A and B are shown apart, each in its own frame.
Chain A
Amino acid sequence: EAQVTQNPRYLITVTGKKLTVTCSQNMNHEYMSWYRQDPGLGLRQIYYSMNVEVTDKGDVPEGYKVSRKEKRNFPLILESPSPNQTSLYFCASRVGGGLNTGELFFGEGSRLTVL
């Protein structure tokens, strides 16, 4: 089954404790991206990757890191989480890293709470 898998789905952590949210897709997609969803703000892009070893900042990259060492995986790293990073996070992927169109396939989301 074609899917984007995120882990963990739910996480409560404390300020400053490094964490990683993993994302894996099995569709051989070039393009992957991370979004955060906050009430009243919709989906905002954190980072994206057009292909292996190619990553770039989205609209809200502060406090986050990513890496793309393999085509299927795109982990999101919070080196020192703060309460303002409490949010619902989505990983997404699509074909065509060099295109600006095409269906985004989203994971089921990771709800993060930073105390």
Chain B
Amino acid sequence: GENVEQHPSTLSVQEGDSAVIKCTYSDSASNYFPWYKQELGKGPQLIIDIRSNVGEKKDQRIAVTLNKTAKHFSLHITETQPEDSAVYFCAASIPSGTYKYIFGTGTRLKVLA
């Protein structure tokens, strides 16, 4: 079945450095790839998404890249700040009748001041 692998499971960076989280999906029909941020004690919240007809999307310090051939996509956070510390989930969605998102296992990002 569909599967999304996410790496690393934990990531520590110094404030101001960049962070990269990578995901690989199994179903080549996947066409929508959102990223969610989960702060402590809260539900996940969408931070950026990309569709399969686009290779890269940027929103201020956050960017997502998609490589359809290799079936992987990545989240890039530049100039990290302490408030970026959270758990990040990638997801993939396929245009079939399942209408569901397959989530990765999450990455706990710690930004050290």
| Residues on A facing B (Cβ under 8 Å) | 4, 31, 33, 35, 40-45, 48, 50, 58-59, 90, 92, 97-101, 103-104, 106-109
Contact = CB atoms under 8 A, between A and B. Distances in A.
Counting chain B residues whose Cβ lies within 8 A of the other chain, the interface size class is: 20 to 34
Given A43-B44, A90-B43, A100-B31, A31 B103 contact: no
Given A100-B93, A101-B51, A42 B44 contact: no
Contacts of A97: 99
B43 A106 contact: yes
Interface of B: 6, 9, 31-32, 34, 36, 41-46, 49, 51, 89, 93-96, 98-101, 103-106
Instruction: Say what secondary structure dominates the interface of chain B.
Output: loop
A107 B45 CA distance: 10
Given A100-B94, A101-B32, A103-B34, A42 B106 contact: yes
A103 B46 contact: yes
Contact of A31 (B6, B44, B46, B99): B99
Contacts of A90: 43-44
Given A4-B43, A43-B103, 8 more contacts: A40-B105, A42-B106, A48-B99, A58-B100, A92-B43, A100-B94, A100-B96, A103-B34
